[in-house]
């Protein structure tokens, strides 16, 4: 069968329609991950947002498998009796054999079925299963690694579930089992060892060793081929985890990863090239506000401005209408997430804005959770002072308005000296005195438990950005995830992103990058890197990404100082844009959201499942891979309103005169041209419907024999 060639190109239009129909009536899909109904990291977002599309494709034969966590089940899962008779017999048999397995619906879009396994209830089997793992694979799991112990329990239980399902089936089943990350990988290894009738897929969203190595500040990408893998894993006490991950990658019928950059990493660290790249998508409808996203930006920006008024009370000597809000968000990995290079670039940007006498002020938010014990008193006081000022202004306004009304009612022009009496002036003076401040506005909104050792705060001390009046760049470190119930900044993450002007994510290690993707679908420009999956994906599909508000920072082929200078240049050019130019750029950015819709990107997962079925059941399924033609693939062209330039890395949003901009730019014309460059989502192979489906990144055909 023509299945030997590795498939790792992600050209969307290179995926032609299959000519054959594909029936899923006699196939069943189990998707297995530790983050099913259990939010730990980014994989939760992948599974949650993709569930609706997969449920539409597989219908009643799609089951998510994850761990039973009671606190999550209470709020996210509706427990019900299994509707599938085979699965009901399977769960009953396991429960009668000493397990605790639950069945229900996950209360998210698509309402997929979930099978939740209580790993703690079967902890009595841990020692015997670890012994079996040693006898089978020569992998020893230390007793003190609780996460690895959970992986062993979860792996054996999922393999038990799949084996029991096959045994309870009256006819030989066609089972597809998709395992995410090393925590679920052991189940795949056991399925292959026990020769279960299961087509297996393993997806790594980030390699274990890669994340650890990058956290250690090594020249990771230039030395990928030089690492002594066993030694590096052993030195970091993750050798057993690394072995589980590598075994799963090699045992899978189909091995996938989320981006081209991670595919290179996996080939070197796991010693297997992915068969197909499966980029992460979003449910764009959830974020899209149709034609209202510009209005939503203005509304959210006003709420951020209110917070800024309170935070900088007494030092509010800059024009909020000429203030730009930048942000970085994610796990607190100082170097991996690029917070180090962002801070350095902000210091250089501050110098450029000052020497050029710019009237633009930049406020950079760092939204990264760290260890704190409470809100900063000075920060809370700022919001209280702002509210008091507002209440005072409202009181004076009501009294002023009443006197003005009475004066006009009798046909007289008001005497200002009489309308504002001494009491009004006294109230206003007291309010003004209350805004006086003897210290600088705080950098951090919370009290840090380890202030002296915090990387962000130490870097701020080094570069000297203390929110002084002379600085054109201000910094606010919010070491807690945003919440609409916060007394300080009562906004959820989506609303906050909409109110910002630019997301900055100069990551050194970012297998995909959901944060810039979320910015894109909300019409907010962002800075990413060519070491992130998102950045590589956009570079491949957009002729000039910066014209569409997607700035790609080169961190792969440039040194740190050069990359920092490039980032500073991006930021400085962005600061020089007019308000109209920023609106034009946001319109362009929002039009890219179709590229990130699961309706498009879900086809890669479809291709992976079809490849796995063809490999596991060659007598029943056939998959043929054709070479892509020279015309396959597409790239968003350079927008017509952007003057041509030989340097694609040049800042591409129009920044000439506004008059020239108005002549060149036609929003409707540009939008129509962009719509022609991406096909409408093809009908996916929904359950019980006769339809054609899409091939893999190369052109492929799939049919049941």
Q: What is the pLDDT of residues 305-334, one digit of tens each?
A: 999 999 999 888 899 999 999 999 998 999
Report DSSP state, residue 592: G
- Neighbour count for residue 416 (Cβ, 10 Å): 9
CA–CA separation, 500 and 292 (whole Å)? 16
E strands within 205-357?
254-257, 276-277, 323-329
* 156-198 pLDDT tens trace: 999 999 999 999 999 888 999 999 999 999 999 999 999 999 9
CA–CA separation, 12 and 632 (whole Å)? 9
Q: Which two tokens stand for residue 220?
A: 């990771």
Mean pLDDT by 10 residues, the chain (705 residues): 35 43 75 94 92 93 96 95 95 96 96 97 95 95 95 97 96 94 97 96 96 87 93 96 97 96 96 96 66 86 96 90 96 93 98 96 97 93 89 86 86 79 83 84 95 96 95 97 92 95 96 94 95 94 91 94 97 96 92 90 92 92 58 56 45 43 62 60 41 38 55
Q: Could you identify the residue written with the tokens 């939008």?
A: 671
Q: Kind and range of the H or E element at 529?
A: strand 526-529
Q: Could you identify the residue written with the tokens 């951020």?
A: 304
Residue 108 half-sphere exposure, CB side, CA atoms within 13 Å?
26
pLDDT at position 661 is 47
Phi first, then psi, for residue 309 (nearest 5°) are -60, -40
Cβ atoms of residues 616 and 200 within 8 Å = yes
CA–CA separation, 386 and 563 (whole Å)? 39
pLDDT at position 684 is 46
Tell me the CA distances in angstroms from 338 to 505, 568, 640, one per residue in order: 7, 13, 33
Give the distance from CA 115 to its chain's centroid: 26
Q: Beta partners for 323?
A: 361
Q: Strands 502-504 and 101-106, how do they pair?
A: unpaired
Angle at Cα 521 formed by Cα 518 and Cα 527, nearest 5°? Answer: 60
Tell me the CA distances in angstroms from 676 to 94, 285, 523, one per residue in order: 53, 20, 19
Rg (CA), the chain: 28
CA–CA separation, 611 and 615 (whole Å)? 6
Our separate counts of H helices and E strands in the chain read 25, 21
Tell me the CA distances in angstroms from 423 to 218, 399, 430, 432, 507, one per residue in order: 66, 11, 11, 14, 56
Helices 208-215 and 239-251: crossing angle, nearest 10°? 140
Q: Could you identify the residue written with the tokens 């070197």?
A: 268
Tell me the CA distances in angstroms from 7 to 271, 605, 696, one per residue in order: 16, 13, 8
CA–CA separation, 447 and 361 (whole Å)? 26
Q: How deeply is 696 buried, as exposed, middle or buried, from its count of CB atoms within 10 A (0-12, 13-18, 19+)?
A: buried
Please count the residues of the chain. Answer: 705
CA–CA separation, 586 and 277 (whole Å)? 29
pLDDT at position 678 is 55
CA–CA separation, 33 and 114 (whole Å)? 11
Look at residues 566, 363, 580, 386 and name the one whose alpha carbon lies nearest to residue 488: 386
Q: Strands 692-694 and 17-21, how do they pair?
A: antiparallel
pLDDT at position 416 is 74
CA–CA separation, 498 and 486 (whole Å)? 18
Report DSSP state, residue 103: E
What percentage of the chain reaches a pLDDT higher than 70?
84
Tell me the CA distances in angstroms from 689 to 21, 612, 692, one per residue in order: 10, 22, 10
E strands within 621-683?
621-626
Cβ atoms of residues 117 and 156 within 8 Å = no
pLDDT at position 642 is 60
Q: Beta partners for 366?
A: 328, 477
Q: How deeply is 213 buried, as exposed, middle or buried, from its count of CB atoms within 10 A (0-12, 13-18, 19+)?
A: buried
């Amino acid at each position: 069968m023509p299945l030997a060639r590795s498939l790792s190109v992600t050209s969307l239009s290179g995926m032609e329609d299959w000519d054959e129909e594909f029936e899923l009536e006699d196939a069943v899909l189990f998707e297995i991950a530790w983050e099913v109904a259990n939010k730990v990291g980014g994989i939760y977002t992948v599974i949650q947002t993709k569930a609706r599309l997969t449920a539409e494709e597989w219908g009643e034969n799609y089951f998510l498998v994850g761990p039973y966590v009671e606190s999550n089940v209470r709020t996210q899962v509706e427990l019900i009796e299994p509707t599938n008779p085979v699965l009901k017999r399977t769960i009953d048999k396991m429960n009668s054999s000493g397990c605790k397995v639950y069945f229900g619906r996950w209360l998210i879009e698509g309402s997929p079925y979930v099978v939740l396994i209580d790993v703690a209830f079967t902890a009595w089997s841990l020692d015997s299963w670890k012994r079996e793992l040693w006898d089978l694979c020569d992998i020893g799991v230390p007793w003190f690694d609780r996460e690895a112990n959970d992986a062993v329990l979860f792996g054996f239980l999922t393999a038990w579930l799949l084996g029991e399902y096959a045994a309870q089936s009256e006819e030989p089943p066609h089972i597809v089992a998709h395992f995410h990350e090393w925590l679920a990988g052991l189940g795949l290894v056991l399925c292959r060892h026990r020769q279960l009738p299961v087509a297996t897929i393993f997806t790594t969203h980030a390699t274990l060793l890669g994340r650890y190595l990058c956290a250690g500040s090594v020249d990771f990408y230039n030395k990928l081929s030089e690492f002594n893998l066993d030694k590096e894993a052993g030195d970091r006490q993750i050798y057993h985890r690394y072995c589980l991950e590598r075994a799963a990658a090699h045992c899978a019928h189909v091995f996938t990863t989320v981006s081209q950059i991670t595919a290179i990493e996996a080939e070197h660290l796991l010693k297997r090239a992915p068969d197909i790249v499966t980029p992460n998508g979003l449910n764009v409808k959830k974020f899209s506000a149709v034609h209202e996203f510009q209005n939503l930006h203005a509304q959210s920006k006003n709420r951020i401005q209110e917070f800024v008024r309170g935070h900088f009370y007494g030092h509010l000597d800059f024009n909020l209408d000429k203030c730009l809000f930048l942000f970085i968000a994610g796990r607190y990995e100082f170097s991996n997430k690029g917070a180090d290079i962002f801070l350095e670039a902000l210091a250089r940007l501050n110098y450029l804005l000052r020497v050029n006498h710019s009237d633009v002020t930049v406020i950079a938010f760092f939204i990264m959770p760290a260890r704190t014990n409470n809100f900063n008193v000075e920060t809370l006081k700022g919001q209280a002072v702002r509210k008091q000022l507002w209440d005072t202004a409202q009181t004076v306004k009501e009294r002023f308005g009443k006197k003005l009304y009475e004066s006009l009612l009798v046909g007289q022009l008001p005497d200002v000296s009489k309308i504002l009496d001494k009491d009004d002036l006294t109230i206003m003076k007291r309010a003004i005195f209350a805004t006086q401040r003897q210290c600088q506005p705080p950098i951090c909104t919370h009290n840090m438990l380890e202030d002296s050792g915090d990387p962000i705060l130490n870097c701020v001390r080094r570069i000297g950005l203390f929110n002084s009046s002379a600085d054109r760049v201000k910094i606010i470190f919010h070491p807690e995830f945003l919440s609409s119930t916060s007394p300080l900044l009562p906004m959820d993450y989506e609303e906050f992103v909409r109110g910002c002007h630019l997301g900055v994510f100069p990551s050194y290690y970012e297998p995909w990058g959901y944060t810039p993707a979320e910015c894109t679908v909300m019409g907010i420009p962002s800075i990413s890197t060519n070491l992130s999956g998102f950045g590589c994906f956009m570079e491949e599909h957009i002729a000039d990404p910066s014209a569409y508000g997607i700035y790609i920072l080169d961190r792969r082929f440039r040194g740190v100082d050069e990359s920092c200078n490039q980032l500073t240049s991006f930021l400085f050019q962005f600061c020089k844009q007019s308000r109209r130019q920023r609106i034009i750029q946001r319109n362009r950015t929002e039009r890219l959201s179709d590229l990130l819709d699961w309706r498009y990107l879900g086809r890669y997962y479809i291709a992976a499942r079809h490849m796995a079925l063809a490999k596991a059941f060659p007598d029943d399924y056939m998959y043929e891979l054709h070479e892509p033609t020279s015309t396959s693939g597409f790239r968003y062209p350079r927008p017509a309103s952007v003057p041509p330039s030989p340097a694609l890395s040049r800042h591409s949003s129009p920044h000439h005169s506004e008059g020239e901009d108005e002549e060149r730019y036609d929003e409707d014309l540009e939008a129509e041209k962009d719509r022609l460059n991406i096909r409408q989502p093809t009908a996916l192979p929904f359950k019980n419907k006769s339809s054609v489906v899409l091939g893999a990144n190369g052109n492929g055909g799939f049919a049941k024999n």
